[in-house]
Amino acid sequence: MLQGINRKNKQDKDRRETVKEGESQGGELSSIVGKKVKKKKQHFSSYLRVVPQLLEYKLIAFVLLQVVVFGLKKLGMLLIYSTGRVAVTSGDYRFLFRTWQGWLIMLITFLAFFFAMSVDINGTFLLSVRLLRKEKVQMPSLIRETFASIPKFVNKHGILLCLYVALGAPFLGVGFNLTLTKHYYIPSFVVDAIRTSPRYMCIYVAIMAFLVFFGVRNTLAFPYILVDGKTAHEATILSHRMIRKKWRPIASRLLIFTLQLVALLLLLSFLIALLGTLVTSITGLPRYLNRFIFIFTYGGGVLLLIFFVLSFPAMEALEITRIFMNFDAKEEIFFEKELPKRSFLPLRVWSCCLIASMLFLSFLGTLFFDELFPARTDTKIVAHRLGGYAAPENSLLGFDSALNQSAYGFETDIQRSKDGVYVINHDNTFARTCGVNRLVSDMTWEEIQQLRIADPTGKPSGQHPPSLEELLDHARGKGKLYLELKGPTADLKMADDVSRMVQERGMTDQCVITSLKYSLVAHVYHKYPKIETGYIYYFSFGDRAALDCDDMIMEEEAATESAINTVHNAGKKVLVWTVNSPESAYRFMDSDADAVITDQVSMCKDVEKGLEARSDTERVIDYLSRDPLFGVNISQPIKLGGILQAR
């Protein structure tokens, strides 16, 4: 195979004209056989001329992707229903590997990834080639060519590229990725576990290093496949060779281009903030008119920001394609002022439609201002592991500490000792909390009472791991208790025993029984209908709102605005875990979530006070920085604009 590739490269090289590479910052390949030509420069402003066409394709691709994914989701749901389930979640996914329906669902998922890669990445590169060659762009033919490119990736190396852009790049945070998965990230509870374990940290660093290496090595793989018609295997080899040979000029040009895009993004954010400042400085107008003007002007600026961010990855693909076509030495590419005519609606029509839409939305925003931009939050604060970071973990002292900070509820973990006593402890062992590396299930209650929980500084406190009975008696009438059935001893016996203990003390209105194991939650839900139940999960697919529980306890990444609304429409509550950063607290306490579970109770209380003290403009800014539009997350630029405006 390698010999065949070398022969092809030699033949290509013999057919090429002798060229001279321009190594300057803006220079490109600019000499022709036997003759030196003055070096050309590619001006960044030239790229902005093709933004309308890039956006046109991105919007069409987005609609196509939503239609196809909707159909695939419906097919996946039918397969899930055929197994007697309503959803696939983190606590009930093993059936995927044990049933033919599960394998078919995973195949459908791969098909969705391939289709998303086709429209998100392949189509963008194919459009880039046409723009660079100054060919007329006809969207129907481009879409057909995009679909025709899918079989090129149905092989071992193509699947690896697909998995990288679908999963690797989102976790890495750089590189091309898919609309379906671009907002995936490593859950905060996993990050916390990595940070506290040197072994996990080493594994994490190794994985991230491999992803960086793989991404850099295959930077030019897509152009080789889509422009030169190479196989995925050939493309990965040739991309590696080109990167190794020309890494300095390629890296410098991509870096400079990216910095220019970032600078433009910052400038646009600043201008939006400046516009907002000018609008808010207008005095003497009725409050409703001030609100209307601010929503229209600031919202319009944010809409422009969305369009720019939408075109950001497409412009990166355009530059990579241009660099590839130049360094591949087959054609010399520069953007000129003359560009192919657009094949879709005139820009003026789009502009008029957008302005009319903004006027209408601004009117609605003014009319329902307090409903859309609420002045205060109703989201409750639940202390993680009884007290969070303020006191010894899962201790009665921690409970009292969180209670003194006015926490609404208290989350904790239950495990069973060797002699059948239910003990409050998060881990399977006491190694981290008490310095004794023994399983909870291997120790008697008498032995456990001799242990002392470490305080936040790591020193032993006077607190021993409490039993569930001690906690229930101590907490009676003092707040909501979220009792998680935890660890290897969490079974139907534990579910029944804990439910009876709650009922015997008359605390059914005060306690919520939760678990990562869906079977236990469903058992309590049906057998003890007076006790509130909560299902803890960090991913799901299907009709999650139809699961047998009262509360859905979502990991941060799963708690999108649409997911929260879906659960609320089914009459269930939503809690988000574990909200420990100011950014996350601000986001979820300004959402429709019913509660956040946090180790930072005092920080969340401060955020709560800050939300209630917001001005009208801050309320609008916070609303606009919620869930992404068209798969684009612009919360950080909007927040930056708000900071600049405040200053």
Give the residue from 580, 244, 198 showing the smallest Cα distance to 388. 580
Continuous H helices in 505-593: 518-527, 561-569, 582-589
- Flag whether 606 is in a domain: no
Q: Are residues 388 and 331 in the same domain?
A: no
The pLDDT tens digits for 129-141 are 988 888 888 888 9
Give me the phi and psi of 311, to 5 degrees please: -85, -10
Q: Partners of 573 in the beta sheet?
A: 551
Q: How many Cβ atoms from other residues are within 10 Å of residue 71's Cβ?
A: 12
Cβ–Cβ < 8 Å for 60, 143: yes
Give the residue from 110, 98, 109, 103 showing the smallest Cα distance to 158. 110
Distance (Å) of CA 565 to CA 561, 572, 574, 608, 631: 6, 10, 9, 21, 18
For 142, the enclosing helix (H) or strand (E) is helix 139-148
- Flag whether 53 is in a domain: yes
- Flag whether 184 is in a domain: yes
pLDDT at residue 641, as a whole number: 46
- Flag whether 638 is in a domain: no
Q: Are residues 34 and 50 in the same domain?
A: no
Q: Are residues 133 and 244 in the same domain?
A: yes
The pLDDT tens digits for 493-540 are 999 999 999 999 999 999 999 999 999 999 999 999 999 999 999 888
Where does the pLDDT of residue 180 fall: very low under 50, low under 70, confident under 90, or very high at 90 and above?
A: confident
Q: Partners of 598 in the beta sheet?
A: 383
Q: Are residues 160 and 224 in the same domain?
A: yes
Find the length of the chain: 647
Q: Which residue has the higher pLDDT, 623 or 31?
A: 623
pLDDT at residue 186, as a whole number: 78
Q: Are residues 262 and 347 in the same domain?
A: yes
Q: Are residues 276 and 346 in the same domain?
A: yes
Separation of alpha carbons 133 and 219, rounded Å: 21
Separation of alpha carbons 501 and 370, rounded Å: 44
SS (H, E, C) 341-365: CCCCCCHHHHHHHHHHHHHHHHHHH
Q: Are residues 68 and 209 in the same domain?
A: yes
Separation of alpha carbons 632 and 590, rounded Å: 20
- The residues near 543 (Cβ < 8 Å, ≥ 6 apart) are 77, 86, 87
Domain residue limits at 15? 1-41
Separation of alpha carbons 54 and 52, rounded Å: 5
Q: Are residues 33 and 87 in the same domain?
A: no
Mean pLDDT of 168-192: 77
Percent of the chain with pLDDT over 90: 49
pLDDT at residue 28, as a whole number: 41
- Burial class of residue 361 in the structure, from the number of CB atoms within 10 Å of its CB (0-12 exposed, 13-18 middle, 19+ buried): middle
- Flag whether 637 is in a domain: no
Residue entry with tokens 């329906």: 101
Separation of alpha carbons 581 and 583, rounded Å: 5
Q: Are residues 12 and 71 in the same domain?
A: no
Domain final position from 371, 393, 415: 371
The pLDDT tens digits for 339-380 are 445 444 566 777 788 889 889 999 999 999 988 888 878 899
Q: Are residues 36 and 47 in the same domain?
A: no
- Flag whether 639 is in a domain: no
Range in 170-179, 262-271, 326-335 the model is least confident about? 326-335
Q: Are residues 281 and 389 in the same domain?
A: no
Single pTM value for the model: 0.81
- Flag whether 271 is in a domain: yes
Residue 565 belongs to a domain with what CATH number?
Answer: 3.20.20.190
Cβ–Cβ < 8 Å for 165, 172: no
| Total domains, the chain | 3
Separation of alpha carbons 430 and 448, rounded Å: 9
SS (H, E, C) 421-446: CEEECCCCEEHHHHCEEEEHHHCCHH
Q: Is the pLDDT of residue 410 over 70?
A: yes
Q: What is the largest CA-CA distance in the chain?
A: 95
Q: Are residues 389 and 352 in the same domain?
A: no
Mean pLDDT, the chain, rounded, equals 85
Percent of the chain with pLDDT over 70: 87
- Flag whether 124 is in a domain: yes
Distance (Å) of CA 489 to CA 386, 413, 439: 20, 12, 11
Give the residue from 385, 433, 390, 391 showing the smallest Cα distance to 409. 385
